[in-house]
Amino acid sequence: MTYQTIIVEKKKGYAVVKLNRPHEMNAISKTMRQELYKVFVDLESDSEVKAIVLTGGEYVFSAGMDIKEMSNLPNEEGDEFLESMMKYLKKIYSYKKPVIAAVGGIALGGGFNLVTICDLVVASESAIFCHPELKFGFNPFFYPLSQIVGITKAKEIVMLGEPIGANEALKIGLVNKVAPPEEFMKVAENMAETLAKRSVKALEELRNICSIVPRMDKMAAINIESSICALLFARDERKIQMQEVVSQEKTRKKK
C-alpha cells in the first residue's frame, strides 16, 4: 500500500500506520484526510491485521489540521472540508479492530481528536496534548474527550486550551501508559502483539461493549453483556482456545 502522507508497515498480526508529513509537523491536509480513511478501510478487510498502531513518530504526533490549507479555504467549501474530516474520524471511532495511539511529541487540535478516538493510548514522556481551536474561532470535538476524562475536565481542556503533559494525561486517564521517548513505540507494539493473539470476534464484540454499555442503564448493560457472552460462548473457537490453554498448562507442569 502506497500513500503520499502515510507510511504503512505490516507486522506479524498488526500494522503500524505512521503520519508522514514531518516538515509540516504531520498537519492533517486534505490528502491526509482522504488517506487516513482509505488506509483504515483497507486494513479493516485485511485478515492478517488484527490491531493497528497509529503514530506520528518520535518527535510529533500531529499539530492538528493544516492551518495554511484551512486559511485559504473558501467558505463554500466548508461543508466538504467537514465531511472529509468526519469521514475518517467516524471510521476509526467505529472500527472493528483495536486501534492504539502511540503519541510522541505534540498532539494538537485535530491530532488530539485522533488520539481520543483510539482504544488505547501510549504516550512518550515528551507528549503534549492541547485543544487550541477556540483561538482560531471554532470548536474542538468534545464528546470523545468527555467520555474519557469526564465532562468537567473535558470542559476545562477544550475551553482553556492549556497544554497537558504526559504525566498529567496519565493521571486524568487520557492515556494508558507513559514511556521514555526511546521506548513508547515498543510499548505500543507490544500491546498490538498481545491483541493480535486474541480472538478477532471476541475483540470486536468487546469493543462494541465498551462503546455501548457506558451509555445504558445498569440492567440493560448487564443484559447486553450477558447476551454477547452467550453468543461468544456458543462458538467452537472458545473450546479450541480453552483446550490450548489447558494443554499449555499441562506441558508447563511436566517441565
Whether residues 155 and 167 fall in one domain: yes
What global pTM score does this model have? 0.87
* pLDDT recorded at residue 244: 67
Listed as ranges, residues in the chain with pLDDT below 70 are 1, 236-248, 250, 254-255
- Angle in degrees, CA 141, 146, 151, rounded to 5: 120
CA distance 113 to 75: 23
Among 69, 74, 58, 34, residue whose Cα is nearest residue 106: 58
**Boundary-marking domain end, from 196, 218, 240:** 196
State pLDDT tens for residues 19-43.
999 999 999 999 999 999 999 999 9
Q: Three-class SS of residue 216?
A: coil
Residue 214 located in a structural domain: yes
**Boundary-marking domain end, from 172, 196, 220:** 196
Whether residues 192 and 68 fall in one domain: yes
Whether residues 140 and 243 fall in one domain: no
Q: At what angle do helices 218-233 and 200-212 cross, to 10 degrees?
A: 170
Which domain, by its residues, includes 30?
A: 6-196
Whether residues 208 and 106 fall in one domain: no
Whether residues 21 and 89 fall in one domain: yes
What size, in residues, is the chain? 255
Whether residues 17 and 127 fall in one domain: yes
CA distance 200 to 180: 31
Whether residues 166 and 212 fall in one domain: no
**Boundary-marking domain end, from 148, 164, 196:** 196
Please tell me the total count of domains within the chain: 2
Find all residues with CB under 8 Å of 68, minimum gap 6, and list them.
Answer: 27
* pLDDT recorded at residue 81: 81
* pLDDT recorded at residue 246: 66
CA distance 178 to 194: 18
* pLDDT recorded at residue 238: 62
